Structure 1
Amino acid sequence: MTAPLAVDIDGTLSRADRSIDSRVMDVLREWDAPVVIATGKALPYPIALCQFVGVEERVIAENGGVAYVDDELFYFGDRAAADEVAREFEARGHDLGWGDSDLVNRWRETELAVSRERPLDVLTELAEDAGLGVVDTGFAYHVKSDGMSKGAALSTVAAELDFEPEEFVAVGDSANDVELFEAAGQSFAVANADDAAKAAADTVVEASHADGFLAAVERATD
C-alpha cells in the first residue's frame, strides 16, 4: 500500500533556479494515496500547483500557519502580531525587501516573510518582543507564531484524511521541514537541504532538488 505523501515545493520539487521540474508532476498525479503540498509559500501558490498538477487541493501553507483540506480552511498563526513586527521593522529603516507590490506577503494570512538580504538580528529582536519566532527557510526569513509548523499542521490534515501523521512519507530541504520530518513516519532530505533538515531526516538522498525528490519517492515505494 502506498503511503500518503507530504512534500515541500522550493528546493524539493524545483530545479536550482526554483522553477518546477516537470518530471515531478506525473509522480504527484499518479501517487496512489493522498498528496499534501507543505510549503512556506502563501496559500494561493500551493493551491495553484495542485490544480495545475491535477491532484486534490490538500495544502499546508505559510510554514504551517494555514491548511486547506476537503474544502475547509484551518488557521494556526497570528498575522496581527507579525504585522506589528513589520511596522516596527520599517520604523527602524528597513523594508521587507520585496518591492512595492510585495507579492510574497500580499496573500499571506498568518505570518510575515522578509528578504534574507535584510538584517536578521533586528528582525529576531522585534519578533521576540512580540512573542514570535523567526525561521530561515533558505529563501526568506519567516516571522511566525511559536508552535506553528508544518508538522503541527500535518496532524490536523492527516486527521481530516483519516490517517495518522506517522503514516506519511515527507520530503523536504529546509529548517521549516524539521517538524514535518518529526511528525511523519518516514522522512527524506534532498542533498541540497540545510543542516537542520538533514539532521532531522531519516534519510538524506544523494541527489539534489527535484532529482532528490524523485530518488526519495523511489526509495519510499521500494
Structure 2
Amino acid sequence: MATADDPPLILDIDGTLTRPDGWGIDPRIFDPIREWDAPVVIATGKAFPYPVALCHFAGVPEFVVAENGGVVYTGDDVYFTADRDAAQAVAEAYRAAGYELGWGEEDTVNRWRETEIAINLEQPIEPLREIAADYGLDVIDTGYAYHVKDADPNKGDGVEVIADHVGFDLENAVAVGDSINDVSSFAVAGRSFAVSNADPDAKAAADEVLEEPHADGTLAVLDRVRERHE
C-alpha cells in the first residue's frame, strides 16, 4: 500500500505503461496508480482525450500533459501552448508532395489533436522534416509516431505548470519514460528512470536505465519507491 510520503509521479504512456509487446495499456498499472498517495501526472505525446480517459478509468485526478506539451490540464484549467494551424499546413503540404499521414481515412490518431500532427512511422521522414522546417516547426520521433510540433512546448514545461497549480515539489518527483520527448520531464523531476526499451536520448538523460521494458520497468520502479517509503 502506498503511503503519505509517496513522491509525485510523472508517467509517459506509450512504451512506458504498455504491455511487453508495446501495444495497449498493461492493466497491471491501474491499481498502483489508483493507490498512489501523491499526484500522478500523465505526460504523453498522445492527443488530449487519451490521457484524460486514462486518468478517468484509473480513477485518479486528471493531471495531464498531452501532445508533447502542447496541451496542459491541471484538473481545473486547460492551457494550450501551441496551435494546430502550422502543423496542419505541414500535413497538407506533405500530402500535396505525394505522401500520406498513414492512419487511414478516419485518422483517429489526429482527429482530436489540438496543437500538433502525428505521422505514421512507415512514412518517409526526410521530406517531412524539410516541409516542417519551412514552417518553423520540429519533427520528433517518439518511437510510435513522427510528431510535427512547435519547437517551444515540451512535457517538462507542462509538468511544471501542473506542479505549481497543485502545489507539489518536483524535486521529490519520480519520472518514468522511454523516448526523446521524455527528456524534458526527466530534467524537471528529482529522479528519472528510462525503461529498457527506451531510445538513446531517454537513456542518456535518465538517472537510471531499468533492466525491464515497458510496464514491467515502470511497475518495478513503483514497487521500489513504495518499499523505500514504507
Equivalenced residues, count: 222
Deviations, residues 95-136 of structure 1 (Å, cap 9, x unaligned): 100000000000000011001111110011111111111110
Matching residue of 1:51: 56
Q: Residue 113 in 1 paired to residue 118 in 2?
A: yes
2:82 aligns to what SS in structure 1?
Answer: coil
Q: Residue 82 in 1 paired to residue 87 in 2?
A: yes
1:163 & 1:30 partners in 2: Cα distance? Answer: 18
Q: Residue 202 in 1 paired to residue 207 in 2?
A: yes
User: In the TM superposition, what are the counterparts of 1:96-175 in structure 2 within 5 Å?
Assistant: 96-175=101-180
Question: Which of 5, 8, 31 is the equivalent residue of 1:4?
Answer: 8
Are the equivalent residues in 2 in contact too, given 1:136–1:175 (CA < 8 A)? yes
RMSD (Å) for aligned C-alpha atoms: 1.0
1:85 deviates by 0.4
1:66 & 1:92 partners in 2: Cα distance? Answer: 29
Fraction of identical pairs, as percent: 56
Deviations, residues 58-86 of structure 1 (Å, cap 9, x unaligned): 11110111011122101112311101101
1:220 deviates by 2.9
1:166 & 1:122 partners in 2: Cα distance? Answer: 40
User: In the TM superposition, what are the counterparts of 1:5-84 in structure 2 within 5 Å?
Assistant: 5-15=9-19, 16-84=21-89
Are the equivalent residues in 2 in contact too, given 1:28–1:35 (CA < 8 A)? yes
The gaps in structure 2 that reach 5 residues or longer are: none
TM-score after normalising by structure 1: 0.97
Deviations, residues 154-186 of structure 1 (Å, cap 9, x unaligned): 111111111243332100111110111111111
The gaps in structure 1 that reach 5 residues or longer are: none
4+ aligned runs moved over 4 Å, structure 1: none
